[in-house]
Amino acid sequence: MRTFPDGFLWGAATSAHQTEGNNTASDFWALENRPGGFLPDRSGDACDSYHRWPEDLDIVQSLGLNAYRFSIEWARIEPVEGHISRAELAHYRRIIEGCLERSLTPVVTLHHFTTPLWFQKAGGWTSPEATERFRRYVRAVLPILDGVEWVCTINEPNMLAMMANMVKAEKREENVAGAMPPPDQAIADALITAHRAAREELTSFKAGWTVANQNFEPVDGADAECREWAWSREDQFLDVAADDDFIGVQAYTRVLIGRDGALPVPADARRTLIGWEFHPAALGNAVRHTADRIPGVPILITENGIATADDAERAEYTDAALTGLHEAIEDGIDVRGYLHWSLLDNYEWGTYAPTFGLVAVDRTTFTRTVKPSARHLGDLATGRTAL
């Protein structure tokens, strides 16, 4: 029987835009609702978690999990530049208190892909004022974080910087992040600066950011090409975390790198709903790579999961991923917790088709249905089932 360290966090993750619904002041809402836009679905009411968050927390608690990751939506807190909504701050404070009342450790993300529309119109991350605008938002949130230990400043900055080029081209990529074109380096640099500014404000918390780990693997002797490919898309963002309180690892699959760059998923490979290779070993490999890159920085698994319509496959993937994670822990890597993506089937940035959730959500009634994979994860977390 594999046992995890005392105090290990077992939980599930969500983000505000993907679950709350009607995030009308955000840049992504504007993108979704642009006439003739390139995204197949609009977020709309999403999972209505803005109103149903107590039910979501009750589900997490009922499974025997002890942690919940969610994001605070900047576009709600500051819908107009300089106007801080006390009502919205109180809304997120109630969620934090709801976690604490249920003995759930809140893992709070301050930025999960979306920004206020005014921020984007004012130049976005490359505006000279961007860092101080983000710092102002972080300062506004600080008073509601009482009782919070873990704070993620920015979710997947490497994806944000790569998505910038995708949005400019009005093209929705189906590839994993690691097979996409390199990030917009000006945006990458701006995000690094904003992260460091946020860290200066978050001295009372365990603060870090999360990185989309792509498990780059060289083939046919392309080791040098693989290192170069990985630096811009992943490693430069890991390096920034060398002095942080933790690093969030988010891993789903791998990317094979040849002499000319990323290779297609092998024709005979098992695939997920969105065409990614079924590769649960990605999690353990990502943890090892991260630990090698920034030794001594505690690791928190802030996302790991699979898009599948077969819930038994979700449990199979999770078991294999956790086995690799446990082996990394046994080898001495400091891993503090595992937060599954996602608690709910939700809006996956343009479409509702990929189902990552431990819980199904009826698109009309918003009824939550707990899947067997959720109960399986809870049983692993509580020791009712051995890994």
**Percent of all residues in the chain with a pLDDT value above 70, rounded to a whole number:** 97
pLDDT at 174: 55
For residue range 141-167, what is the model confidence (pLDDT) as tens digits?
999 999 999 999 999 999 999 988 666
What does the pLDDT average to over 237-249? 98
Contacts (Cβ under 8 Å, ≥6 apart) of 82: none
62 pLDDT more than 70: yes
Catalytic residue among 32, 201, 303, 348: 303
Q: Domain ranges for the chain, please list them.
A: 9-382
pLDDT at 163: 87
At 178, the pLDDT band (50, 70, 90 cuts) reads confident
386 pLDDT more than 60: yes
173 pLDDT more than 70: no
The strand pair at 105-109 and 150-155 is best described as parallel
Active site (annotated) includes residue 97: no
At 1, the pLDDT band (50, 70, 90 cuts) reads confident
130 pLDDT more than 80: yes
For residue range 192-211, what is the model confidence (pLDDT) as tens digits?
999 999 999 999 999 999 99
pLDDT at 199: 98
Beta carbons of 213 and 289 less than 8 angstroms apart: yes
For residue range 292-301, what is the model confidence (pLDDT) as tens digits?
999 999 999 9
For residue range 4-61, what is the model confidence (pLDDT) as tens digits?
999 999 999 999 999 999 999 999 999 999 999 889 999 999 999 999 999 999 999 9
Sign of the alpha-carbon torsion through 318, 321, 324, 328: negative
117 CB neighbour count, 10 Å cutoff? 19
The pLDDT mean for the chain works out to 96
At 175, the pLDDT band (50, 70, 90 cuts) reads low
More confident residue, 26 or 2: 26
pTM recorded for the entire structure: 0.97
What does the pLDDT average to over 87-106? 99
pLDDT at 56: 99
172 pLDDT more than 60: no
pLDDT at 171: 56
What topology is assigned to 9-382 in CATH?
TIM Barrel (3.20.20)
169 pLDDT more than 70: no
Bond into 373 cis (ω within 30): no
| Spatial separation of the C-alpha atoms in residues 235 and 257, rounded to whole Å | 15
pLDDT at 129: 98
Contacts (Cβ under 8 Å, ≥6 apart) of 166: 172, 173, 180
What does the pLDDT average to over 263-270? 96
Beta carbons of 218 and 226 less than 8 angstroms apart: yes
pLDDT at 166: 64
| Spatial separation of the C-alpha atoms in residues 325 and 340, rounded to whole Å | 13
pLDDT at 167: 61
255 pLDDT more than 80: yes
Contacts (Cβ under 8 Å, ≥6 apart) of 108: 69, 70, 71, 72, 96, 145, 148, 150, 151, 152
